[in-house]
Each structure stands twice: as C-alpha cells, then as structure tokens.
Structure 1
Amino acid sequence: MAAELIKNVAKEQIFSLSKLVEVEEEQVASLTLSQMPGCKVTVFAIDANEGMASHAAGGDALVTVLEGTGEITINGVPHTLEAGESVVIPAGAPHAVRGVTAFKMLLVVVLPA
C-alpha cells in the first residue's frame, strides 16, 4: 500500500480548511496535512498577539490567510494579510508570524529535490 500523501482529512469529502483547527487562547495550534520530503502542508490557528519567532525554512513557503488578520514579517518587513490573501516567503528568508487578530492560515512549504 502506498504512503498516505495527505492525512488528517477524509478523502472524497468536501471540507473547510479553516474548520480543521480551532484558535486556542494564547496558543498557536496546528494540524499537519502532509509532510513529504519535497512538500509540507499545515493549517495553523493563531490567537491574537501570538505567533512564531523569526526563523527560516529550506524551501519557498506559501502562506494563505483563511480567516482573521495575520502579520508575516519577511526580511524585517511586516506584511499584513487578510482572509483570502497570500504571500510567498523565499527559501532561507528570516520570517516571523503574529496574529493581529485571531487568525487561521494554510502553509505550504515546497522544498528543493
């Protein structure tokens, strides 16, 4: 049997990404949907004024805000994203994430082969 490429959701069923993970008070919550050698997909729920300190990833990272408002700081420059908006963080770029309001986001990291 082949490895499960996408996990933690029912296949052939319609679902809402934003309902897969709930905002928890003063927390960053996440649910991994895929973690393969070349691609990682995670849904995050981040409370207002919570987030992730500056770090870097080995691949390009696509962030799409599902609901609420988040701030993604890339190379020291803050970007405020509303629901439906996206930004790409280049591989190796230092970046941080913070909830302006409680928000949810989809993160897709594409890694070099």
Structure 2
Amino acid sequence: MDNSQENSQVDTGELEKSTAHIIVEIIEYIPNSVVIKTILRKSTGNISVMSFDSGEGLTEKTSPFDTFAQIIEGKAEIVINSVSNLLQSGEGIIIPAHLPNFIRPNGRFKMILTIIKSGYE
C-alpha cells in the first residue's frame, strides 16, 4: 500500500443549483496533490468530485457508510478488504460500510464519491 498522501486541497462550497455542469471540468489537477470539491452536502450524505495527480492516492480507511465511487477520467485501483478492483472512466463500485479500503495511485484520474448516511448498518 502506498501511504504517499500528500497535499490535499478541499473546496467545501457547493455547486450552483439549477445549472448544468460538466463534472469532469469543475475540478483540475494540481501537481502532487489530491483536490476535493463538494458538489452537494446534506446531513443524509454528500457528493464530492476528486482529482488525483500521478502518484497520489488515499491511505486505508474504514467508513461507517456505504460509498459509491465512480471514475470520470482516467483509471484507478480501489482496494476493498484486500481485493483489488481496477476501474476505468465510466465505471463505478460500491465500497461497503465497515470494510477497510484505499485508493492506489495509477496515473492521474478524477472520480465522484457519493456517501449515503442511511445509518450505521
């Protein structure tokens, strides 16, 4: 596992409502960084778009909620409970609550993360 996590930049301002957005264009790559932009944040969950520069990933974590990860540009390796999943642009995966997971760098990529806070399953 690569623990090279890095520089993170987080933008918590939501996107403008009732306006069309080209999701892959609302976030840019920043050298040696992971960038996170909030699309929508509610008490019941949130949606964020993230960009990862080459060599950047996320260290292992466990969430109390199911999370849907969808690759919107490039490709990424998402490891869930020690099982590797290589996803390409247009593909998504549900990361189950309570299972250890991490994202291994695999070149530059962008993804959308949707967390549904339906309760502690």
Give TM-score scaled by structure 2 length: 0.82
SS in 1 for 2:16: coil
- Tell me, what secondary structure is at the counterpart of 1:13? coil
The alignment yields a C-alpha RMSD, in angstroms, of 1.3
In 2, the alpha carbon distance for the partners of 1:35 and 1:57 equals 17
Report the residue type matching 2:34 in the other structure: V
| Secondary structure of 2:115's aligned partner | strand
Are 1:69 and 1:99, in contact at CA under 8 Å, matched by a contact in 2?
A: no
Match of 2:25 among 14, 19, 23: 19
TM-score, length-normalised on structure 1? 0.88
Shift of 1:77: 1.1
Aligned to 1:34: 40
- Which 5+ residue runs of structure 2 have no aligned equivalent? 1-12
Partner residue, 2:99: 93
User: Structure 1 stretches (4+) deviating beyond 3 angstroms?
Assistant: none
Pairing partner for 1:52 from 30, 47, 58: 58
Equivalent position of 1:61 in the other structure: 67
Deviations 1:19-51 (A, max 9, x none): 111111111100012222221111000112211
- Structure 1: runs of 5 or more not aligned: 1-6
Residue-pair matches, total: 107
Aligned to 2:116: 110
